[in-house]
A and B are shown apart, each in its own frame.
Chain A
Amino acid sequence: MKQLAALVLPPVILLGTTIALWGWMSAQGMIPNYLLPSPGKLAGALVGDRSVLLRHGLATTEEALSGYVIGSVLGLLAAVVLSFSRRLRACFFPLALATQAIPIIAVTPLIVLVMGRGMPAILTLVSITAFFPMLINMTRGLRVADRGYHELLHSLSASRLQRLAIVELPGAFPYLFAALRVAATACFINAIVGEWIGSNIGLGYLVVISGQYFKMPTLWAAIVVTAALTLILVGIVAVMERVMTPWAATEHGS
C-alpha cells in the first residue's frame, strides 16, 4: 500500500500543479483560449460531448485493439517460423529492421489508397505497426535462452517443438512484453493518424473535424481520451507481464 502511494503520489502532485498553473494562466489571459481552453472548459467538453466522444472513442478502440492483437499475434508467429530456419532469418530479418526506418505517416496514404477509406485500412495500419516490433523483438528473444537450457533439453531428448515451448518461448518473455509495451503505446496514436486521412469516424477524425470548426475544447477532449485509453492499455500490459512472469519478481529479490 505504501509502495503504491509512493508510485502514484508524485505524478499526481505534478499533474495537479500543472493543471492549477494552466487554469491560473488561462484565467489571466496568458494562454489564448482558441489554442488551449481552460481546464474548466476542457472538463465541460469531456462531459458535454461524452456521447460523441464515446462513439468515436469506441471506433478507435476497436481499430487500435484489434490491430494490436492481430499484429502482435502475427508478429509472434512470424518470429517462431523464422526461429526454425537460419536461412529464412537471414532473408527476412534485415528487411524487417529496415521497415522501422519508414515513418508510418508516409505509408498511411498508400494503404488508404489501396484499401479505401474506413476501418479495414486503419486496422491494417495498426496491425503493421504492431507486427514489426514483435517480429524483431521475438526473433532476438527466441535466441537468448542459455545454451545450458538447450543442452538439458537435448539430453532429455526433447523434440524441436518441446524446446520451443519449454525453453525458447518462456526465455523470450521479457522480449515479448517489451514488444507488447512498445505497440501498446503506439497503437492508439497510429489508429488516430490513420483516421486523419482514412476514416469518417474515430477520435482522429474527431480531432480533424473539431479543428476545422475551431471547437478547441472538443479537440482537446479527444486528445485526453486518446491518452487515457493508451495509459489503460499500457497498464493492462504491465499487469499481464507481472502475472505471467512471476519468477521475474523473485530474481530481483523483491
Chain B
Amino acid sequence: MHELSIAQNILSMVNSRVEKEGIQLEATAVTVMIGEFRNVDPESLEFAFDAMKPSFEFCRNCLLKIISVKAEGICTKSMHSFHPEKQNGFSCPICNSAIKEFKSGEELDIVRIIISTIDQGRLECTK
C-alpha cells in the first residue's frame, strides 16, 4: 500500500529536478535501486508510478527502471559475507552466527535521471 507514497516521492523528486533544469524539458527515465530488505514490492511500485505520473507535469513520459539489489550480510562471529536465507533463519551458512550488518540490501534510492527536450511532434499531437 505504501508503494503509492514511494511512487509519489520519486515523481515529485524527478519533477522538481526537471523544473530546475529549464524549459521545454521532461524526464524520460528514472532508475531506482531497491534493496531486498526494504518493504517495497516492485510490481506495486510500477503500477503506482504509472497510475500517478500523468499528474506530474514533467514526468508524463517518464519510464521507471528498477534495479533490485540482493542482500549481503556480514556475520557476527567471523565476518563471513553471505546471502541471508529464510531456510537458515537468516543465519550465516558457514558458522551459523547472526547478521552483524548489511553490506547491501537496504537501498531505496534514485540513482539516475534522464532529462530530454520535449519531442515537438508529440507535443503537437496531444493538442
Say whether A and B bind each other.
no
Binding site for A on B (CB under 8 A): none
Which residues of A approach B to under 8 Å, CB–CB? none
